[in-house]
Amino acid sequence: MQRMERTQIYLPREQRIRLAAAARTRKTSTAFVIREAVERYLDAEGHEPSGEDGLFDLIGAAGDLDEASDVARSHDRYLAGARLRRVPKRRQKPR
């Protein structure tokens, strides 16, 4: 389970009542309902996990390496190639 950090929010009374009712109906905690709602919101807005250690950004970065036998030795080359593939090419201005 992921480590939780305490956060305090202020809600209008009506929202708090509706939130408590939703939690009771689902037989779960109010905090869980809030976490689910926040996760859905962030997903809908296109916010990716923070990847605090940067490793999340590396997942799949080098593409399909199933046939590569020198990944351990040549990892820098594979990652550099992945970076170049992700950088959008600039359009040249018409002359």
Q: What is the pLDDT of residues 44-80, one digit of tens each?
A: 877 766 555 556 666 666 566 666 666 667 667 766 7
pTM: 0.49
**Apex CA 15: angle with CA 11 and CA 18, to 5°?**
145
In-domain check, residue 92: no
Residues 78, 35: Cα–Cα separation, whole Å: 37
Q: Is 65 helix (H, G, I), strand (E, B) or coil?
A: coil
* 2 belongs to a structural domain: no
What is the average pLDDT value for the chain, to the nearest integer?
Answer: 76
pLDDT computed for residue 29 by the predictor: 95
Provide Rg for the chain, Cα atoms. 22
> pLDDT at position 87, please?
47
* Residues 61 and 81 grouped into a single domain: yes
Inter-residue contact 42 to 63 (CB < 8 Å): no
Q: Is residue 95 part of a domain?
A: no
Count of structural domains, the chain: 2
Tell me the residue range of the domain where 18 lies. 13-45
Asked if residue 61 is part of any domain, the answer here is: yes
